[in-house]
Chains A and B, each alone.
Chain A
Amino acid sequence: MAVDAARPQSHATPPQSPAAPPQTYMSAALPGALKSALLTALVTLGLCFPIVAWETQLDIESRLTLVSWWGYVAAFVAIAFVGRFAYVMWRALPREQRQAIAPRAKLSADVKQRIAIVGLLLLIFFPFISIAAAGTAGSIKWIDNYGTQILIYILLAWGLNIVVGLAGLLDLGYVAFYAVGAYSSALLAKNFGLSFWLCLPLAGIFAAMYGLMIGIPVLRLRGDYLAIVTLAFAEIVQRVAVNWDTVTGGYNGISGIPRPTLFGYSLSPGPDSLPSLLGLAPSPLYRVIFLFYLVLVMALLVNWVATRLRRLPLGRAWEALREDEIACRSLGINTVTTKLSAFATGAFFGGIAGPLFAARQGIVSPSSFVFMESAMILAIVVLGGLGSQLGVAIAAVVMIGGTELLRELGWLKAVFGPEFDPGKYRMLIFGFAMVLLMVVRPRGFITHRDPSITLGGRQTERQA
């Protein structure tokens, strides 16, 4: 549109001289900003006093002593003061000047497509890149912990995106479908000796059936109520996994799940495995790479189905349902079946992720399917931008990759001394980043919605 056409100029030219220089606005806002910053610092001090300032420690004689951390308190207060001050001053500038200094990126469809292509290429070559960078032994961690794990989350988030992003049904218990998929595939494989390739669709079908089962009573609820009930159902699934120990193995879970095979050939190190038949040196790397590509293919399949569905009557009805349920009914759309279909489709994709997870870990246990997982997947969807496939993928990389990377913060010991344990601060940094992101982009990374259908070339003509 016209706005988009004008934007590149503001990138190219330096900030044009506006009516008033930034200094005028800044000096006008100074007293207010100082006051606001002082207040924020005071609140921080109040919060830090009980939380940060004191620590009880046992000394050598097992006596409880009080250690004070006033240095930290001072640091936090200073950060709050400076941060608030800078923020208020920044907001005092008129929008145009802020735009000129730091243009806000708005992704056009073109740019989005480029990002998607580059991202896909990166994913396809990721195993080779990591082997080249970290060597055969070192790359396993990268491919498995980063690559495969992130891809599983992308897959889950894309599934949930259908339910939350498209149909607008807030599901806080998505992990239940993941759990149903994982457990059903594990049980089928262990008890009936079904192959992974059969378990994969069956897990999806079981999860979808579970979705229908809970969907029928639940979907008459809306918004918050739906969220609470889905949360409860997820909790039920986890409890069943814990307590039905004759079937699920209780807290120990089910271990020794057979790894997926390729046309009947194993990829794990062993005499009959495909790598050894091909005369390659035995290494767990092949299995890891195979799994990576397997999950990649599944994720792309889910993406294809989801994007395609969005452009079909069913997907449009889902979006219409999110927009106005009463209008939907006035147009002859059966809202109950439409909601159920969204719920079941999302559940199916969540279910498919289950066997992939089981294949990666070789074990399923209740601890993998706690509420935190649901919250994580939902956070990915919300941060990515509800309904945006690319945004969700980026958010998954940032969130999962980010938390994993925070494990690698060993070098910070050089800065803060050998006592510093970066693992302790992982979730803190993560939480802080999330808050920051929601302040900067309250509606997620990608907020632009592509129309599912357009009337010929009119739109592009007017853009030009």
Chain B
Amino acid sequence: MQPIADPLLTVDRLTMRFGGLLAINALTFEVGRGQITALIGPNGAGKTTVFNCITGFYQPTGGRMALAHRGPVQEQELAGLTASGRRYDRHACGGLFLLERMQDHEIAAKARVARTFQNIRLFPAMTVLENLIVAQHRELMKASRFSIAGLLGTKGYRAAEEQAVERARHWLEKTGLVDRADEPAGDLPYGAQRRLEIARAMCTQPMLLCLDEPAAGLNPRESADLTRLIRAIRDETGTSVLLIEHDMSVVMEISDHVVVIEYGCKIADGTPEEIKSDANVIAAYLGVEDAETAVAVVEAGA
């Protein structure tokens, strides 16, 4: 496993402790720019905890998570920002952010990290379109001059709203939800709700999209659609994707890079092929040679 040339996100010795429980222990990995990185591991390995640290829902106990909007990051820039005690530097690397110092909504708005949730979190009473418009809150809020221009219905605000609807329409088309745009999000079937959550995250125009088990509960056809959607996101928008997934067929098919963790420690890291043949993974985590069977065994036992 060789270091990634230009990482978007560098997680350096991330540690998260809940009382006496060490959930994540000095975890170090990188998310490649414009790549799909999968984070896998058995249940309880700490994958979602890593997500919650990256997106600011947890305050990590230690470590550094640096996200650069434009790379490559010079070591001294990063060291300078770390030493300065500031949370981010808008000028270095087109925006250099130390996520461990930022609050969840700041990470979403400034560092532009979007996420979905393991148990879907939509705004169920609001329509599908409204869900996507809320995702563009920051921009629209600015355009509405904190509601003053919006109340008066100025041209600038109306243009911004139209643009937001266009962006929403684009993602509705991508996810095949255009026909249901004006229905309450809570009325959608499960698979469509999963796609809507991804569409909503994409409407924030993220640099990094974190997907927490996007294929959970999907049938094989929906899974295949999802794989295509995630690929399209990477290829068409250049958004980097970090995903947690249990479905190994999905992981092996779409990932450029796989990070395997167990008990909060990284045990392997590399391309899907490398992971499949990694002695550590097979011995310590999978136990058997065939990856898919192994996961089935792990899941059944968990």
Q: Which of A313, A324, A449 contacts B137 (CB 8 A)?
A: A313
Is A316 touching B105 in the complex (CB atoms < 8 A)?
Answer: no
Contact with A along B118-161 (1 / 0, CB 8 A): 00011111110110011111101100101100110000000001
Is A333 touching B130 in the complex (CB atoms < 8 A)?
Answer: no
| A326 CB contacts on chain B under 8 angstroms | 57, 117, 121
Known: A312-B151, A316-B137, A320-B123. A329 touches B181 (CB 8 A): no
Known: A316-B133, A327-B122, A332-B138. A455 touches B147 (CB 8 A): no
> CA separation between A305 and B151, bound complex, in Å?
7
Is A333 touching B124 in the complex (CB atoms < 8 A)?
Answer: no
| B127 CB contacts on chain A under 8 angstroms | 451, 453-454
A319 within 8 A of B: yes
A330, A453, A459: most-surrounded residue (chain B CB, <10 A): A330
Is B124 touching A313 in the complex (CB atoms < 8 A)?
Answer: no
A452 within 8 A of B: yes
> CA separation between A144 and B208, bound complex, in Å?
61
| A333 CB contacts on chain B under 8 angstroms | 105, 134, 137-138
Known: A324-B122, A458-B179. A329 touches B130 (CB 8 A): no
Known: A328-B105, A330-B201. 20 other contacts (CB 8 A): A308-B150, A312-B140, A313-B133, A313-B136, A313-B144, A314-B146, A320-B137, A323-B123, A323-B126, A324-B122, A326-B57, A330-B57, A330-B114, A332-B110, A333-B134, A333-B138, A451-B130, A452-B126, A454-B181, A459-B181
Q: Which of A305, A308, A320, A458 contacts B134 (CB 8 A)?
A: A320
Q: With both chains docked as a complex, state the minimum distance between the C-beta of A350 and any C-beta of chain B, in angstroms.
A: 19
Is A330 touching B134 in the complex (CB atoms < 8 A)?
Answer: no
A334 within 8 A of B: yes
Known: A320-B123, A324-B122, A455-B169. A309 touches B151 (CB 8 A): yes
Is B182 touching A458 in the complex (CB atoms < 8 A)?
Answer: yes
| A451 CB contacts on chain B under 8 angstroms | 126-127, 129-130, 182
Contact with B along A297-327 (1 / 0, CB 8 A): 0000000010011001110110110011011
Is B134 touching A316 in the complex (CB atoms < 8 A)?
Answer: yes
Is B133 touching A330 in the complex (CB atoms < 8 A)?
Answer: no
> CA separation between A157 and B117, bound complex, in Å?
36
| A329 CB contacts on chain B under 8 angstroms | 57, 104-105, 108
> CA separation between A437 and B2, bound complex, in Å?
69
Known: A313-B141, A327-B117, A330-B115. A453 touches B129 (CB 8 A): yes
| A316 CB contacts on chain B under 8 angstroms | 126, 130, 133-134, 137
Known: A330-B115, A332-B105. A312 touches B144 (CB 8 A): yes
B55 within 8 A of A: yes
Is A332 touching B108 in the complex (CB atoms < 8 A)?
Answer: yes
| B141 CB contacts on chain A under 8 angstroms | 313-314, 317
Chain A residue at minimal CB-CB distance from B142? A313
| B140 CB contacts on chain A under 8 angstroms | 312-313
* Shortest beta-carbon contacts, A-B, top 6: A332-B109, A332-B108, A323-B123, A313-B140, A455-B181, A327-B121
Is B129 touching A320 in the complex (CB atoms < 8 A)?
Answer: no
A335 within 8 A of B: yes
Is A453 touching B130 in the complex (CB atoms < 8 A)?
Answer: yes
14 A-B pairs with C-beta separation under 8 A: A308-B151, A309-B151, A317-B134, A317-B141, A324-B123, A326-B117, A327-B121, A329-B108, A331-B200, A332-B106, A453-B127, A453-B130, A455-B165, A459-B182
Chain B residue at minimal CB-CB distance from A326? B121
> CA separation between A335 and B137, bound complex, in Å?
12
| A308 CB contacts on chain B under 8 angstroms | 150-151
Q: Which of A312, A324, A334, A459 contacts B105 (CB 8 A)?
A: A334
B193 within 8 A of A: no
Q: Which of A314, A319, A453, A458 contacts B147 (CB 8 A)?
A: A314
Q: With both chains docked as a complex, state the minimum distance between the C-beta of B177 and any C-beta of chain A, in angstroms.
A: 10
| A305 CB contacts on chain B under 8 angstroms | 151
B93 within 8 A of A: no
Q: Which of B57, B106, B108, B178 contacts A455 (CB 8 A)?
A: B178
> CA separation between A317 and B138, bound complex, in Å?
10
Chain A residue at minimal CB-CB distance from B185? A323
> CA separation between A317 and B146, bound complex, in Å?
12
| B125 CB contacts on chain A under 8 angstroms | 319, 323, 449
| B172 CB contacts on chain A under 8 angstroms | 455
B104, B114, B172: most-surrounded residue (chain A CB, <10 A): B104
Known: A313-B140, A458-B179. A331 touches B134 (CB 8 A): yes
Chain A residue at minimal CB-CB distance from B179? A458
> CA separation between A323 and B124, bound complex, in Å?
7
| A459 CB contacts on chain B under 8 angstroms | 181-182
> CA separation between A308 and B201, bound complex, in Å?
26
> CA separation between A448 and B263, bound complex, in Å?
48
| A331 CB contacts on chain B under 8 angstroms | 108, 114, 134-135, 137, 200-201, 204
> CA separation between A382 and B101, bound complex, in Å?
41
Q: With both chains docked as a complex, state the minimum distance between the C-beta of A439 and any C-beta of chain B, in angstroms.
A: 23
Is A454 touching B126 in the complex (CB atoms < 8 A)?
Answer: no
* Chain A positions 36-86 with a Cβ under 8 Å from a chain B Cβ: none
Is B117 touching A309 in the complex (CB atoms < 8 A)?
Answer: no
Contact with A along B193-227 (1 / 0, CB 8 A): 00000001100100000000000000000000000
| B130 CB contacts on chain A under 8 angstroms | 316, 319, 451-453
Is A313 touching B150 in the complex (CB atoms < 8 A)?
Answer: yes
> CA separation between A454 and B125, bound complex, in Å?
14
Is B124 touching A332 in the complex (CB atoms < 8 A)?
Answer: no
| A312 CB contacts on chain B under 8 angstroms | 140, 144, 147, 150-151
Chain A residue at minimal CB-CB distance from B186? A323
Contact with A along B33-61 (1 / 0, CB 8 A): 00000000000000000000001010000
